[in-house]
Amino acid sequence: MEKVVHLFSFVKYDGIDSLNPRDNALLQQARKATSLAYAPYSKFHVGAALQLSNGIIVSGGNQENASFPAGLCAERVALATVSSQYPECKIEAIAVSYNNKTGASERPVSPCGICRQSLAEWEQKQHFLIKLVLGGMSGEVYVIESASLLLPLAFTAGDMKKGG
């Protein structure tokens, strides 16, 4: 038997003003994208902003549906937009923010499991790391150098290959 420990580190900033200008602008876009959310049930408005290799920023908001769980997370809305509108571009970074209409929005929020899987696979597909910038409408901000760090032991395309 062998015990395996998997650790990762990230950088914690006191607030958006401590970020470099590019990450600051991306998080501001994610905060703005919370207004794109359709979240009449949870009142939890999430915004995502993706920085593409061509300089364009693509945003998305979560989309709920009365036929739960038929909604989409903000991250996957933005990823789908990139896939259909800018398929040749690499995603360099994603910022995620939220506006909780029934509570505080003062600490970083992290992508859900499905979004973690989607981002990890996107990294693998494009052979390029995607930096994450995570924050609320105010407060601390986390910067993580690779989306794959959020999903250790991920299920990947390599797991589906036939043995040989």
Task: Give catalytic residue positions.
Answer: 75
Alpha helices in the chain (DSSP H): 21-33, 74-85, 113-126
Residue type, 128: F
Q: Which two tokens stand for residue 117?
A: 């899987």
> How far is residue 89's CA from residue 53's CA, in Å, rounded to a whole number?
6
Alpha helices in 35-129 (DSSP H): 74-85, 113-126
Residue type, 88: E
- Tell me, what DSSP letter sits at residue 102? T
